[in-house]
């Protein structure tokens, strides 16, 4: 029925506990597919992917948000989908709201929020817990620069204090270099390079020269 | 912290608790969305079956006559129970497709979605029981102790609906045609179930001139689970009798068969959903 298309082909890499691992590549190269497989949303048609530990997938912020519901209601809904218990959300509710800086709009339906405001709420719910593995897909690019900084700080503190493993997909190579130790470059479904973040990023950048 | 340990060792108790929390959140969402921006809100859940019953009573006491005592009570009982099944299965059918954005982004037990729709229908059924109570009080048709069997009946119908719902939700992912076909089937099923006509076939059949149709109808009713459930419902609500062991086994049997088929179809196909939604 469909013409077969391999989004990812023969890719092998390892991410160690506590690593901050970057993933770069041009559009349509399979970065998000990779993350979906890691998050367990997609099954690989061949090969294996082993994850040891819990995952906070930020594959797309605010999955399960309902535009008709208020922010308060959405925090509980989204939290439940991320596997939080009611007690956990109750006790972290203020923390989540304060981090998003949206206390004044808590009882407004989400459809009246700007996309940046939605991203704020979503990011603060998703990082309310300390996962073993945090997957971040382009999510930081939505908010304003202040919030982007705040998110980066939050991720950095998860890395430094809780030794969370992070996988970061970004088109911002300077951000990848700044935050990541190691990095993989995927191009058209093939692995081009794995290694220290600065080396991979500079090789990737040279693609444009 | 809870989320952390949970994913590492999926201890069944914790997973069950978090799945229950998801179910509860989704039902709450559906409930809020259903009544948002309507003035009467949740009152509609009671009012709707009442009004439907009025219309049907008008039609079937003036245009077609059936020799049934307390006809409005008889009608609303059949209607409400059949609607539970048809709402539950119809809602469950589209649930996987509707929640495609979620299924693509979060790792989640996919059966949550069809089951949630069944739960939502059960909540609505609970509310429509208020309408049933109103009608029963109005016609002085007092309930008796036999009502204690209601949870049992509810369990059968829920299991039955979950089974069909799981199967439909899975099949409709691969063949959207199922959704169009089901509407027609539900309508046919509605007419084949004694909702507005007498459940006592022997009294009814003398009026049917074609012998073949009469015989066919008897056989069809034997294998129509909704026939058994509706008769069961009226027995405990109207006729003050608790159905015997035989009838209970039949009802449970239909429920179990449906549930087994639904679970098998869903399990076999669920890992392929993401490629089709």
Comparing alpha-carbon positions, the chain B residue that sits nearest to A44 is: B271
**Do A12 and A30 sit in the same domain of this protein?**
yes
**Do A122 and A103 sit in the same domain of this protein?**
yes
Look up residue A191 and give its two tokens.
């692995």
**Do A120 and A32 sit in the same domain of this protein?**
no
**Rounded to whole angstroms, how far apart are CA atoms A113 and A148?**
18
Query: How far A207 CA lies from chain B's nearest CA (Å)?
Result: 31
B2 touches A at CB < 8 Å:
yes
Query: Vertex B173, ends B45 and B185: CA angle to 5°?
Result: 55
Domain boundary among the residues A109, A130, A151 is at A130
Query: How far A201 CA lies from chain B's nearest CA (Å)?
Result: 27
Note whether A69 contacts B101, CB cutoff 8 Å: no
Domain boundary among the residues A130, A149, A175 is at A130
Q: Which residues of chain B carry a pLDDT beneath 70?
A: 1-12, 203-209
Q: A65 by DSSP, 3-state: which?
A: coil
Identify the pLDDT of residue A90: 93
CATH code of the domain covering residue A6: 3.40.50.300
Query: Vertex A51, ends A50 and A52: CA angle to 5°?
Result: 120
Domain ranges of chain B: 1-37, 38-276
The answer to whether B190 and B83 have CB atoms below 8 angstroms apart is no
Identify the pLDDT of residue A89: 92
Domain boundary among the residues A79, A95, A130 is at A130
Query: Which residue of B2, B26, B271 is in closest CB contact with A43?
Result: B271
Q: Supply the range of the domain harboring residue A202.
A: 1-54+131-209
**Do A187 and A175 sit in the same domain of this protein?**
yes
**Do A38 and A135 sit in the same domain of this protein?**
yes
**Do A148 and A119 sit in the same domain of this protein?**
no
Note whether A54 contacts B6, CB cutoff 8 Å: yes
If we measure between CA atoms, which residue out of B145, B155, B157, B122 comes closest to residue B237?
A: B145
**Do A115 and A171 sit in the same domain of this protein?**
no
Query: How far B274 CA lies from chain A's nearest CA (Å)?
Result: 7
Note whether B21 contacts A85, CB cutoff 8 Å: yes
Look up residue B177 and give its two tokens.
């045609």
Is the pLDDT reported for residue A30 higher than 90? no
Query: Which residue of B28, B36, B107 is in closest CB contact with A39?
Result: B107
Whether A63 is in a domain gets the answer: no
**Rounded to whole angstroms, how far apart are CA atoms B75 and B197?**
9
Inter-chain Cβ pairs, chain A and chain B, closer than 8 A: 96
Torsional sign, CA B44, B45, B51, B55 = positive
pLDDT digits (tens, 9 = 90+) for B155-172: 999 999 999 999 999 999
The answer to whether B277 and B103 have CB atoms below 8 angstroms apart is yes
Q: What are the strands, taking DSSP E only, across A144-189?
A: 165-169, 182-187
Percent of chain B past pLDDT 90, that is, above it, reads 60
**Rounded to whole angstroms, how far apart are CA atoms A77 and B23?**
10
ipTM: 0.82
Number of compact structural domains in chain A: 2
Note whether A42 contacts B274, CB cutoff 8 Å: yes
pLDDT digits (tens, 9 = 90+) for A176-188: 888 888 999 998 8
Whether A59 is in a domain gets the answer: no
């Amino acid at each position: 029925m469909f013409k077969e298309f391999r989004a990812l082909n023969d890719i092998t890499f390892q991410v160690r506990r506590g690593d901050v691992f970057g993933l770069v590549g041009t559009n349509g190269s399979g970065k998000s597919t990779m993350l979906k497989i890691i998050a367990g949303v997609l099954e690989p048609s061949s090969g294996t992917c082993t994850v040891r530990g819990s995952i906070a997938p930020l594959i797309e912020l605010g999955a399960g948000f309902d535009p008709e519901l208020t922010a308060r209601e959405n925090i509980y809904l989204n939290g439940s989908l991320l596997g939080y218990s009611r007690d956990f959300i109750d006790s972290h509710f203020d923390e989540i709201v304060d981090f998003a800086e949206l206390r004044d709009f808590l009882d407004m339906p989400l459809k009246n929020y700007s996309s940046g405001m939605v991203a704020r709420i979503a990011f603060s719910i998703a990082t309310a817990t300390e996962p073993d593995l945090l997957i971040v897909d382009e999510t930081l690019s939505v908010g304003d620069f202040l919030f982007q900084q705040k998110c980066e700080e939050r991720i950095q503190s998860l890395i430094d204090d809780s030794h969370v493993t992070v996988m970061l997909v970004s088109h911002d190579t300077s951000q990848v270099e700044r935050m990541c130790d190691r990095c993989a470059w995927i191009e058209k479904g093939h692995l081009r390079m794995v290694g220290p973040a600065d080396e991979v990023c500079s090789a990737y950048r040279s693609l444009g020269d | 912290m809870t989320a952390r340990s949970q994913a590492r060792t999926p201890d069944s108790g914790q997973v069950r608790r978090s799945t229950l929390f998801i179910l509860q959140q989704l039902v709450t969402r559906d409930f809020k969305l259903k009544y948002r921006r309507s003035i009467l809100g949740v009152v509609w859940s009671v009012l709707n079956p009442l009004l439907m019953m009025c219309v049907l009573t008008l039609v079937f006491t003036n245009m077609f006559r059936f020799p049934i005592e307390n006809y409005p009570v008889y009608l609303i009982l059949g209607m409400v129970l059949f609607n539970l099944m048809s709402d539950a299965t119809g809602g469950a059918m589209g649930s996987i497709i509707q929640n495609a954005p979620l299924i693509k982004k979060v790792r989640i037990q996919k059966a949550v979605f069809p089951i949630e729709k069944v739960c939502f229908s059960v909540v609505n059924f609970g509310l429509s029981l208020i309408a049933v109570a109103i009608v029963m009080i109005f016609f002085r048709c007092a309930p008796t102790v036999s009502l204690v069997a209601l949870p049992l009946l509810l369990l059968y119908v829920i299991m039955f609906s979950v089974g069909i719902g799981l199967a439909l939700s899975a099949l409709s992912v691969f063949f959207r045609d199922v959704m169009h076909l089901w509407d027609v089937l539900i309508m046919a099923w509605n007419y084949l179930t004694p909702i507005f006509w007498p459940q006592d076939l022997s009294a009814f059949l003398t009026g049917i001139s074609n012998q073949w149709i009469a015989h066919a109808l008897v056989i069809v009713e034997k294998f129509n689970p909704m026939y058994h459930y509706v008769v069961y419902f009226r027995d405990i609500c109207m006729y003050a009798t608790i159905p015997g062991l035989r009838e209970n086994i039949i009802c449970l049997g239909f429920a179990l068969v449906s549930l087994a088929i639904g679970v098998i179809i869903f399990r076999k196909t669920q890992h392929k959903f993401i490629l089709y939604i």
